[in-house]
Amino acid sequence: MMNTKIKNNNFICQIINKDFNKNKDLSFRTRFPPEPNGYLHIGHAKSICLNFELAHLYKGQCNLRFDDTNPLKENIKYIDSIKYDINWLGYKWYGEIRYSSEYFSKLYQYAQELIKKGLAYVDHLNKEQIREYRGTLNTPGKNSPYRNRTIKENIELFQKMKKGEFSEGEACLRAKIDMSSSFIIMRDPVLYRIIFTKHHQTKKKWCIYPMYDFAHCLSDSIEGITHSLCTLEFQDNKCLYNWILKHTSVTHHPKQYEFSRLNLEFSILSKRKLKILIDKNIIKGWDDPRIPTLSGLRRKGYTPSSIKEFCQKIGVTKQNNLIEFGMLEYCIRKELNQTAIRTMAILEPIKVFLYNLDQNHKEKFIVPNHPDNPEMGTHEIIFTNTIYIERSDFKEKYDKKYKRLKLGEKIRLRYSYIITAEKIEKDKDNNIISIICYCDLHTLGKKPKNNKNPPVIHWISVNNTIPAEFRLYSQLFNIKNPEQQKNFLFYINPASLIKKNGFIEKKIGETIQKKINDNIKLFFQFERIGYFCIDNIDSKKNYLIFNRTVSLRDIWNSKKN
Binding site for Mg ion (CB under 5 A): 35
Helix (H) or strand (E) holding 560: none
Which DSSP state fits 260? Answer: P
Measured CA distances, 345 to 405, 437, 458, 554 (Å): 17, 20, 8, 21
Helix ranges (H only) for 58-201 are: 76-89, 104-116, 127-134, 151-163
Q: Which does 238 bind (CB under 5 to 8 A by kind): Mg ion, ligand ATP, none?
A: none
Measured from the CB of residue 220, what is the shortest distance to ligand ATP in angstroms? 11
Residues 6+ apart with CB under 8 A from 429: none
Residues 6+ apart with CB under 8 A from 304: 88, 89, 90
The torsion angles phi and psi of 7, rounded to 5 degrees, stand at: -55, -25
Annotation says 469 is catalytic? no
Q: Which does 44 bind (CB under 5 to 8 A by kind): ligand ATP, Mg ion, none?
A: ligand ATP
Q: Which is nearer to ligand ATP, 213 or 527 (CB)?
A: 213
Nearest to 287 by CA among 547, 554, 556, 552: 547
- How many whole angstroms separate alpha carbon 387 and alpha carbon 21? 70
- How many whole angstroms separate alpha carbon 556 and alpha carbon 323? 12
Measured from the CB of residue 187, what is the shortest distance to ligand ATP in angstroms? 22
Helix (H) or strand (E) holding 502: strand 497-505
Measured from the CB of residue 7, what is the shortest distance to Mg ion in angstroms? 29
Annotation says 261 is catalytic? yes
- How many whole angstroms separate alpha carbon 212 and alpha carbon 230? 13
Measured from the CB of residue 121, what is the shortest distance to ligand ATP in angstroms? 28
Q: Which does 236 bind (CB under 5 to 8 A by kind): ligand ATP, Mg ion, none?
A: none
Catalytic hit among 73, 255, 261, 500: 261
Q: Which is nearer to ligand ATP, 262 or 435 (CB)?
A: 262
Q: Which is nearer to Mg ion, 70 or 384 (CB)?
A: 70
Q: Which is nearer to ligand ATP, 33 or 454 (CB)?
A: 33
Q: Which is nearer to Mg ion, 35 or 324 (CB)?
A: 35
Q: Report the first-to-last Cα separation within the chain, whole angstroms.
A: 34
Q: Which is nearer to Mg ion, 35 or 469 (CB)?
A: 35
Measured from the CB of residue 37, what is the shortest distance to Mg ion in angstroms? 8
Measured from the CB of residue 75, what is the shortest distance to ligand ATP in angstroms? 13
Measured from the CB of residue 18, what is the shortest distance to ligand ATP in angstroms? 22
Nearest to 432 by CA among 461, 457, 458, 396: 396
* Cβ proximity of 142 and 149 under 8 Å: no
- How many whole angstroms separate alpha carbon 532 and alpha carbon 105? 51
Q: Which does 33 bind (CB under 5 to 8 A by kind): ligand ATP, Mg ion, none?
A: ligand ATP
Q: Which does 261 bind (CB under 5 to 8 A by kind): Mg ion, ligand ATP, none?
A: ligand ATP
Residue nearest to ligand ATP (CB): 43
Nearest to 388 by CA among 438, 350, 436, 419: 350
Annotation says 35 is catalytic? yes
> Using CB under 6 A as the criterion, which residues of the chain lie in contact with ligand ATP when the complex forms?
33-35, 43-44, 46-47, 230-231, 261-262, 269-272
* Cβ proximity of 396 and 432 under 8 Å: yes
- How many whole angstroms separate alpha carbon 110 and alpha carbon 373? 62
Q: Which does 106 bind (CB under 5 to 8 A by kind): ligand ATP, Mg ion, none?
A: none
Catalytic hit among 271, 298, 410, 548: 271
Q: Which does 47 bind (CB under 5 to 8 A by kind): ligand ATP, Mg ion, none?
A: ligand ATP
**Catalytic residues, which ones?**
35, 261, 271
